Structure 1
């Protein structure tokens, strides 16, 4: 389970809005200093707002400004990364090779590759839309006790 800490920015009856700075996988990534994600997070302070279900916990125990820990299963991150990168690339290659084998010229082959890339991206977007409420893919609240307040 990948663990990310965050700060509560809003409390609702059935969930929390949490502000996070994306950095959980930076230490284990092979790219290390060559990655733009960690660089942007460090310098721009890139934050993400995530809605997290309370999972039956009482919302009264949480207040704005509290620090909490979130968890996402590693398999969800791995599968999501594979989907986001592989499907558009597969669309690009399939369209390019398919049109090239039909005898199309370089310009049409390039356009077909671009169309395949866009179609793959659209397929990823559709899949994200369809699975947006799947509880297995959502972050979970790891703190089972009263969160620690920011000073």
Structure 2
């Protein structure tokens, strides 16, 4: 998956990039009946900051527009970790709870299983945060407008 970003800062061989949140809500026919729109509105409204390595062959300066490529493996692995793992642990929890304590136990164990799945998912994602093969990389640089405005990186 490729996306454009703007270079907002450079530090110690790293580039700080800012990307704009993109959704397809404006072009979708579902409009009001879609939960994706609700989730997008609940999330961050502003830009998203990414830190990437500055490769010697892809020199970029503050203000340049760069095209970044996120490896497909990162997207698939992240999606499985964030969506499938909590769902799976919720189902297993519900089955175990139902076997021991009936419907009430199934509900309680499903909630516990879901929360445990989210916790494990977060740990796995944090573990993968420094894995080089899962990091976005710059594939193209376009000179942009030189800006003197200071940008605060969060």
Is TM > 0.5 for Structure 1 vs Structure 2? yes
Counterpart of 2:2? 3
* Structure 1 residue ranges without an equivalent (≥5): none
Following superposition of structure 1 onto structure 2, how do residues 104-119 of structure 1 map, counting pairs within 5 Å? 104-119=101-116
Counterparts in 2 of 1:2-151, with a 5 A limit? 2-23=1-22, 26=24, 33=31, 34=34, 35-36=36-37, 40=41, 45-57=45-57, 61-102=59-100, 104-143=101-140, 147-150=142-145
> Match of 2:149?
none
CA contact (8 A) 1:21 1:45 kept: no
2:6 is paired with a residue of what secondary structure? strand
What's the CA shift for 1:26? 4.4
Normalising to structure 2: TM-score of the pair? 0.77
Q: Cα offset for 1:109?
A: 2.0
Q: What secondary structure does 2:8 align onto?
A: strand
- Cα RMSD (Å): 2.8
Distance in 1, Cα, partners of 2:52 & 2:122: 21
Deviation at residue 6 of structure 1 after TM alignment: 0.8
Give a deviation string over 1:28-73, Cα, whole Å, max 9, x none: xx997533279649xx753210001113458xx4332221111112
Q: How many residues are aligned here?
A: 140
Deviation at 1:12, TM superposition (A): 1.2
Q: Report the CA distance shift for 1:124/1:22 in structure 2 as closer, same or farther (over 3 A).
A: same
| Structure 2 unaligned blocks of 5 or more | 147-154
